[in-house]
Each structure stands twice: as C-alpha cells, then as structure tokens.
Amino acid sequence: DTGVSQNPRHKITKRGQNVTFRCDPISEHNRLYWYRQTLGQGPEFLTYFQNEAQLEKSRLLSDRFSAERPKGSFSTLEIQRTEQGDSAMYLCASSWIQGHGNEQFFGPGTRLTVL
C-alpha cells in the first residue's frame, strides 16, 4: 500500500488551456474525493465518488470542471478553459465506506498555477 498518489505534482498553464489531473486512491478504498485548497485556506469539498458513481458535487464545481472515475479505480479531474482563479492546490482523498468515521487519506496534491 503506497497511499494516495496524484499526478502531476505541479502544473503551470496559460489561461484558457485545459488541464487534467489524475488521482490513484488506496487500492481497497471505494470512495474517492476531490478538494480544492487556496492559499491560506482549508480544503474545500468539490466532489466524491463511490466506486464509479459520482454521488455529490459542490456548487464550487462549475461547468468547466468535470471529474470521472471509470471502473471505480483512478480518477481524473479536468478543468476546461482555465482561469487565474483556478490556481490552487487540488487534493484527492480516499476512504473505505465502512471505515471508522469516514477517515479520509489524502494524497500530496497537484498545485495548479494559471498564468
């Protein structure tokens, strides 16, 4: 068990470009979450999956954002037509549905900078 991994760790892009991030959860975990963390703030919930089903999306997740989890394994988060306000750390977490109190294990994050 190598924990939650995220790629890339850093991404610099120009405004208007599309970006995609990948998250590989802990292998036996069936829940996967995406959070966004801006400078000086705590993480904010974006969306979560149970297996391959996306069960909840925050209103923070605009139409430019889309997340998928095909086959209930890894997940991708795509941002289309990036804006400078999208600059943030994007964190992925996973948990086991019957785990204690929905304990979530976090990956190292992908830091996005939109120029």
Contact positions toward another protein, by CB under 8 A? 4, 31, 33, 35, 40-45, 48, 55-56, 91, 93, 100-109
End-to-end CA distance of the chain: 36
Name the nearest CA neighbour of 24 among 8, 44, 36: 8
Question: Residue 47 in contact with residue 58, Cβ under 8 Å?
Answer: yes
Quickly tell me which residue has 């994007």 as its tokens.
90
CB of 64 to another protein, least distance (A): 21
CB of 82 to another protein, least distance (A): 22
Nearer to another protein, 76 or 106 (CB): 106
CB of 101 to another protein, least distance (A): 4
